[in-house]
Amino acid sequence: MAEFQLIERYFSGLSGARQDVALGVGDDCALLQPPSGMQLAMTMDTLIAGRHFLPDTNPRRLGHKVLAVNLSDLAAMGARPAWALLSISLPEIDHAWLAEFSAGFAALAARHDLALVGGDTCQGEMSFSLQLTGFVEAGKELRRDGARPGDRIWVTGFLGDAALALKRLQAAEEPGALSGRLEQPRPRIAEGLALSGAGATSCIDISDGLASDLGHVCRQSGCAARVHLDRLPLSPAMARHVAKTGDYSLALAGGDDYELCFTLPADSTPPAGVDATCIGEMFPGEGVKLVDAGGREVPPPRGWEHFA
């Protein structure tokens, strides 16, 4: 089956009803009409089987996850999703698998009024490259480089659940309700939009783990972060894990959280609609410092890094 027909068959109909898509899948390029007075926020990531997800992941959940991971980058910028291009590489064509994958992708795309406007398919190891474009008003974008000493550090949701689910799956244990946190992360688009223009001095999405991603904010903002371990937002399952093992490393460096980590001036609180926990504060210096409940500094676990 030709590449063209493959794309058409599974991904037509995902152009949605957006008025700004002048031409979708099927030509050499898609044609889009950008809104006047808005900046475009663009991101692109590749997910590879065995590295970013388990090869036997349920295809509908995988379709969701591939999109969710990239939407999380738009969320971190305070951008509203608009258009997607998707490049799919598969070792062979499995029609039932593709139908499930595209259904999972489509359901999440529809929820965010995102149109799939292009891409390609080819034969190779299973991987997905997704490029997204969103809109954000100039001056309202959330960047990594604006945190200042004295700012408070906040995170949405809970940390470490996806890593705990993965750990259990790899140990052939039943992850239970945690599997949704690994395979169906909810991108914090609404929270990003609420934070945009609401005084946040920096924002990043937590994909490689809090320690690593907050480290990017420190480096790009030119200051240091202090994180209080006893203030980390933990689900009941993760709280039990920590109580049993004394080990915070999954919450700090497990990765795949897709929560937002942002900073606010000390006298501010998150805007309505953003359910977040204050976990520490920025101060002059560099790097991420961890302190335990007794105020003692503890060494940071290594964040998961590509080619590490």
Q: Residue numbers of the site for a copy of itself (CB under 8 A)?
A: 1-4, 6, 22-23, 26-34, 36, 39-46, 48, 51-52, 73-74, 76-77, 79, 83, 85-87, 89, 93, 117-125, 127, 129, 131, 133-134, 136, 138, 141, 143-145, 203-205, 216, 220, 305-308
CB atoms within 10 A of CB 111: 15
Tell me whether residue 134 or residue 175 sits nearer to a copy of itself (CB atom): 134
Q: Go through the chain and tell me how many residues it has.
A: 308
With a CB cutoff of 8 Å and minimum separation 6, the contacts of 66 are 47, 86, 105, 128, 130
Residue listed under structure tokens 């080990």: 247
Least distance in Å: CB of 240 to a copy of itself? 32
Tokens of 20: 């700004």
CA distance 44 to 237: 32
* Shortest Å, Cβ 244 to a copy of itself: 31
What is the distance between the alpha carbons of residues 107 and 110, in angstroms, rounded to a whole number?
A: 5
Helices (H), 112-196: 161-170, 178-183, 189-195
Q: Which is nearer to a copy of itself, 133 or 235 (CB)?
A: 133
Residue 267 or 307 with smaller CB distance to a copy of itself: 307
Nearer to a copy of itself, 168 or 188 (CB): 188
Place of tokens 């971190």: 76
Q: What are phi and psi of 207, to 5 degrees?
A: -110, -35
Shortest distance, CB of residue 73 to a copy of itself, whole angstroms? 4
The nearer residue to a copy of itself, 145 or 297, going by C-beta atoms, is 145
CB of 33 to a copy of itself, least distance (A): 6
Tell me whether residue 176 or residue 287 sits nearer to a copy of itself (CB atom): 287
Angstrom CA distances, 190 to 76, 79, 97, 111, 145, stand at 10, 9, 30, 11, 22
Q: Shortest Cβ distance from residue 166 to a copy of itself (Å)? A: 17
Q: How many CB atoms lie within 10 A of CB 171?
A: 8
Give me the least distance between CB of 76 and a copy of itself, in Å please: 4
